[in-house]
Amino acid sequence: MLRKQINNILQNQQIARTEYDESPQNVQIQQLDSFDSQNSGRLEYDSERYQQVDNVVDQGNQNNNKKKQTKKSSLLQNMEKMEQKRQERREKMNQMKQQKLEKEQMNKESNRNVDIDFEMLIEQERLNFSLQHVPISNNRLSVIVRKRPLFSKEEEEGELDSISCSNPIIRVHEPKYKVDGITKYVENQDFQFDNAFSEKESTEDVYKYSLQPLIKCIFEHGVVTCFAYGQTGSGKTFTMRGLQQHYINDIFSIIQKNHQFQLIMSYFEIYGGKCFDLLNERNQLNILEDKNNNVQIQNLIEKPVRDQLEMIEIIEQAAIIRTTHATEANEESSRSHAICQIVVKDTNGSTRGKLIMVDLAGSERAQDCQSNSKQRRVEGANINQSLLALKECIRAMDSGAQHVPFRGSKLTLVLRDSFLSKQSNSHIIMFACISPGSSSSDHTVNTLRYADRLKESNGIKQDVIKIIEEQSKAKKKKQNYQSSQQQMASAPQAAAQKKKEKEKEENDSNKKNQNAPPVKNLKGENKNKEERQYDHTQYLMNNAKNKENMQSVDNIPSIGYQDKPSQQEKKLNAQQAKSSQIQKIPPIQQSVQQIEQASTQNSTQQVVSSTSVSSSASALAQLHREKRDERPQTQQKRQSSIGKKNANQTDTSNQNLNNLLQQKILNTDASLATNHNHDHLSGVDQNKALSLKQLKQISQSNPVTTQNNQGQQIRINSAHPSNNNNSQNNNTRDDNNNSFNQLPKKGHNNQQQKKTQQNMDNISTINNKNNRDSSANHNSRHNSSSNNNNNQINNNNFNQNLNDKSLNDHILQKNKEVQENIEKAQQHQIEQKTKDLILQQIKEKQEDMFSSHMSAIKEDANLLSLESGLLTDCQKDGFMDCDIDSYVKKFESIVSKKLLMYNLLQQKMDTLKKMRNEYNNKYSLNQINNNHHEKNQQQQQAKQIEDPNKKRQSFLLKKKIEN
C-alpha cells in the first residue's frame, strides 16, 4: 500500500513535471537559456552597453545635480557679490566718514567754517585737466575769463571754492538743497571761452596770451580795447593794473627802437551817466559829436608821456581820484567805468593807433545793494544800463551788423572808435573776472553768461567739455583703482587667503564642469578697461593738444575746439562742394610754398632769373598771408552769422591770386619766348621753364576764369582729377608744349594764327575739364603744332574753335544759373539767421524784463517787512496814536495803486495767454503747410542744381558725336 502510494505520488510528480516542461513558460525559459548559451559574448557586450547607458544616465543625473549645484552656486555667488558690494559700500562710507572727520579737523585747525558735505560734493565734480593757452592775435573779439583766489577771510566766513577752471572751460558748482530742504546737491554749469585762467596763473600769463600779441597793432593804425568785467571784488582793477605794468614796458621798448612815435595819455571816468576827467581834478566833461560824426570829449586833458615812470605816475594819480565807495561786497568798490586811453602819434601829429583800457564798474545788480542808500541804487541802475549797451555794441560788432548802437550809453559813445574801426588789426578783449566764493556763484554765472553772449557760440564746445570730463573721470577711476589696490595689498593675510581659497574653489568647480566657460580674472579685466579708457582719453587730449599746437603755429586760435562742424556749417560745406564745379578754393598755401622753394632754388642757381620768379613768389606769398589773415575773420563770421559765410571774399581773393598767376605765366612765357633757343634752353631759361611749370601746376590746381581774346570770360586749367592725372602723366610733354606753344607767336607775325593758337590752348583745356579723352586732346595739340605748316587744317581747327566757343558760352550760362540758385539758397540761410538773431534778442529782453520784475517784487517784500517792523514799533511805543489816521490813508492809497498795478499785470497776463493759444493753433497749422512747402522747395532746388549738370553732359555728348 505504502509502495502504491509512493508510486502514485511519484507518478503525479512526473505528470506535473512533464506538464511544466511542456508549458509555454518553460519553453520560453528554455529558449532563453539556449539563447543565453548561444549568445553569451553578445550579452556580455550588451551588458557593457547597459552599463555605459547606466553610466550616462548616472552622469546625466550627476550633471543635473551639478546643474542644480551650479544654479545654487550662482545664486550663492550673486548673494556673495551683493554681500561684497555691501561691504564695499560700508567701507566706502566708513572711509568717507573718516575723510569727513579728518577734513573737519583740518578745517577747524585752519579756521575754515565751510560745509564739508558741499565741499566733498564739489570735489567729486571738479575738472582737473586743462588745455594749453592759445595766444590771441587774429580774433576781432576775444573773451578771457580769470578766476581770483579764495581769500582766507572768505573761508573763515564759510565760503567754498565753487569754480573749476580747466582752460578753456569754466565749471560753476552751485551748492543747492533739494525740495525736501535737507538733501544737498551741486548743480554744475559749464562755459567755454577763448582762454580761462585759474587762480594759480599770474597776471604775466594772462598778459602773455592776451594783450601782448596785440601791442604791435597800436603802432599800425589799430585800435585795441580791453574791458575788465565782473562783479565787485572779482579782481577787475587787479587785472587791469597788473596788465598796465607789462604793456607799459612793451610799448616803451618799441618806442625806444622807433623814435618817430609819440604817446599821448588821457584818463577819465563815467559815473552816473556823466564824464569826469581824472587828470584834471574830476572836472566834468561834455561828450560831443562833430560834423564828421567823430566823438570828441570837450576839454579833456591829454598829457604827452616821455617815459615809463611818467606813465605809471599818471595812472596812480588817476586811480586815487577815481570814485570808489564801500559796498556790502567790497570795501573800496569802484562805482565808475574808468577809461585809460593811450594814443600813439606820428611826429607830424597824425594818429597811428590807440590802446584803451576800460575798468568797468561792478556788475552787481540793484537788488544786491538793498541796504545801501538810494544813490547807490541809482548808480547800480546806471551801471546796468551802460553794461547792457556795451553788450549790444560788442555783439553787433562781432556779428558784423551794419548798425552798432553805440549811442545807447555814454560809455559806448566814447568808445565809438573801438566798435566802428574798420582796420583789420583792431581788437577787443573782454576779461571776465570771477570770484570763486560759493555765495557769489549767482553773480559768477551772470558774469559768465554775459561774457558767453558776447560771442556767438559754436557747437564744438561740447567736445572739449567731453574730453576734459572723460579725462578727469578716467583719472579719478585710476586713482580709485590704485587706492583699492593698495588697500588690497595692506589687508590682513587671512582675508586674502580666504579669498584665494574661494577663488580656487570657484576655479576648480569651473574646471570640473567641462562646458563651463573659462574663469575670468575680473580684476585684471577691470584694470584693462580703466587703463584703456584712460589711454583713450589721453589720446583724445593729445589729439586736441596737437591740433591746438598746430594752430598756434599758424596763429589761428580756438580752431582746435572746432573738430566737428555745426549743422549749419555742414550744410554750407555741402553747398560749397556743389558749387565747387564753378568756384573751387585752391590749396594756395602748398602752391605758395612750392613757388617760394622754387624761387630760393633759382636764386642760388641764377640770380637774374630768380628775380622775376621770386617776385611772383613773394607777391603770391603776400596774397596768401593776406588770405590767411582773413581766415579767422571769415571763421568768426561763420560762427556769428551764416549770412557772412558766403565764399565771396575768398573767391575774389582767389581770383586775384589766379589772375596774378596767369599774368606771371604769360610774362614768364613771353620772356622765355624772347630768350628762346630752338635747340636747347639756356640756364636762365631752364630755370624760367621750371618756374613756369610750377606756376602752371598751381594754376591747374586753381580753377580760373579769365578773358580770352574776344573779351569772353572762359575757364581754364581745371582742377578735375582726370585732368590732374593727365597733366601728371604728361608733365614733360606739357612743359615742352607750354614753352613751344608760345614760339610761333614770336616766329610768325600772323595774327590769325596767334588767335587760333590761343583759342586752341583755351579750348583744349576746356576739353580737358569736360573729360574729353586724352587722345582727342593730344590730337588737338598735335594739330596745333602742325598748324604752322598747314593752313587748311588751321582753318578747320578755327571752325571747330568757333563751335567750341558756343559750347563754352552755353557752359557759362548754365554755370551762371547754378550760381544763382546757390546764391538764392545762401540768401535764404541769411534770412533764417537774422530771424534767429532777432528771436535771441527778444529772448534776452524778456529775461531782463523778468529779472527787473523779480527785483521789484523783492523790493516790495522788503518794504513789507519794513512796514511790519514799523507797525510793531508803533504798537510798542504808541507815539503815532494821533497820526494813525493819516498813516492808514497813505497806506490805503499805496495799496490801491499797487492793486491797480497788479490788476494791470493780470490783464497783461491774460492777453499773453490768449496770444499764446492763438499762436499755438496757428503754428500747428502752419507747420504742417510749411513742412510740405519746404519739401517741395528742396526738391525743386535739387532738380534745378542737378538739371544744368545733366543738360550740360548731354550737350557735351551731342557735341562729341557731332565732332
Ligand X SMILES: Nc1ncnc2c1ncn2[C@@H]1O[C@H](COP(=O)(O)OP(=O)(O)OP(=O)(O)O)[C@@H](O)[C@H]1O
Contacting residues toward ligand X, per CB under 6 A: 148-149, 230, 232-238, 330, 333-334, 362, 433
CB 452 within 8 A of CB 444: no
- Run of H or E residues at 356: strand 351-359
Q: For ligand X, give the closer residue by CB, 152 or 675.
A: 152
Burial class (CB in 10 A: 0-12, 13-18, 19+), 902: exposed
Q: For ligand X, give the closer residue by CB, 154 or 194.
A: 154
Tell me how far, at minimum, the Cβ of 454 lies from ligand X, in Å: 18
Tell me how far, at minimum, the Cβ of 321 lies from ligand X, in Å: 14
Tell me how far, at minimum, the Cβ of 227 lies from ligand X, in Å: 12
Q: For ligand X, give the closer residue by CB, 333 or 421.
A: 333
Measured in residues, the chain has a length of 963
Q: For ligand X, give the closer residue by CB, 388 or 743.
A: 388
Chain centre to alpha carbon of residue 915:
38
Q: For ligand X, give the closer residue by CB, 433 or 598.
A: 433
Nearest to 414 by CA among 286, 230, 262: 286
* Interacting residues of 106 by C-beta distance below 8 A, sequence separation 6+: 112
User: 3-state SS of the chain: helix, strand, coil percent to 5?
Assistant: 70, 10, 20
- Residue number with the smallest Cβ distance to ligand X: 235
Q: For ligand X, give the closer residue by CB, 360 or 818.
A: 360
Residue 520 half-sphere exposure toward CB, CA atoms < 13 A: 8
DSSP state, residue 182: S
Helices 884-962, 791-877: axis angle to 10 degrees equals 170
Tell me how far, at minimum, the Cβ of 252 lies from ligand X, in Å: 25
Around Cβ 361, how many Cβ atoms within 10 Å? 26
Tell me how far, at minimum, the Cβ of 131 lies from ligand X, in Å: 20
Burial class (CB in 10 A: 0-12, 13-18, 19+), 658: buried
Tell me how far, at minimum, the Cβ of 332 lies from ligand X, in Å: 7
Pairing of strands 262-271, 274-277: antiparallel
- Run of H or E residues at 475: helix 461-490
How far is it, in rounded angstroms, from Cα 478 to Cα 500?
24
Q: For ligand X, give the closer residue by CB, 243 or 394.
A: 243
CB 205 within 8 A of CB 226: no
Alpha helices in 322-373 (DSSP H): none
* Interacting residues of 479 by C-beta distance below 8 A, sequence separation 6+: none
Q: What are phi and psi of 706, to 5 degrees?
A: -140, 175
Q: Is the dihedral of CA 720, 726, 731, 734 positive or negative?
A: negative
CA distances from 730 to 296, 591, 778 (A): 67, 20, 10
Residue 478 half-sphere exposure toward CB, CA atoms < 13 A: 14
CB 637 within 8 A of CB 826: no
Does 236 belong to an annotated binding site? yes
The angle subtended at Cα 440 by Cα 438 and Cα 445, nearest 5°, is 100
Tell me how far, at minimum, the Cβ of 359 lies from ligand X, in Å: 7
Tell me how far, at minimum, the Cβ of 325 lies from ligand X, in Å: 9
Tell me how far, at minimum, the Cβ of 146 lies from ligand X, in Å: 7
Tell me how far, at minimum, the Cβ of 654 lies from ligand X, in Å: 46
Tell me how far, at minimum, the Cβ of 268 lies from ligand X, in Å: 17
Q: For ligand X, give the closer residue by CB, 312 or 719.
A: 312
List beta partners, residue 354.
223, 343
CB 659 within 8 A of CB 705: no
Q: Is the dihedral of CA 281, 283, 288, 290 positive or negative?
A: negative
Does 239 belong to an annotated binding site? no
How far is it, in rounded angstroms, from Cα 692 to Cα 686?
10
How far is it, in rounded angstroms, from Cα 376 to Cα 371?
9
Q: What are phi and psi of 301, to 5 degrees?
A: -75, 125
Nearest to 234 by CA among 412, 364, 59: 364
DSSP state, residue 404: -
* Single-letter residue type at 338: A
Does 235 belong to an annotated binding site? yes
Tell me how far, at minimum, the Cβ of 233 lies from ligand X, in Å: 5
DSSP state, residue 565: P
Radius of gyration of the chain (CA): 44
Burial class (CB in 10 A: 0-12, 13-18, 19+), 15: exposed
Q: What number of helices (H) and strands (E) belong to the chain?
A: 27, 18
CA dihedral 382, 387, 390, 395 (to 10 degrees): -140
Helix (H, G, I), strand (E, B) or coil at 97: helix
Tell me how far, at minimum, the Cβ of 588 lies from ligand X, in Å: 43
The three three-digit cell numbers of residue 710, written as one number: 574776344
Q: For ligand X, give the closer residue by CB, 278 or 716.
A: 278
Does 230 belong to an annotated binding site? yes
Tell me how far, at minimum, the Cβ of 232 lies from ligand X, in Å: 3
Tell me how far, at minimum, the Cβ of 324 lies from ligand X, in Å: 7
List beta partners, residue 172.
163, 189
Does 234 belong to an annotated binding site? yes
Binding-site residue positions for ATP: 230-237
**Known binding site: residues?**
230-237
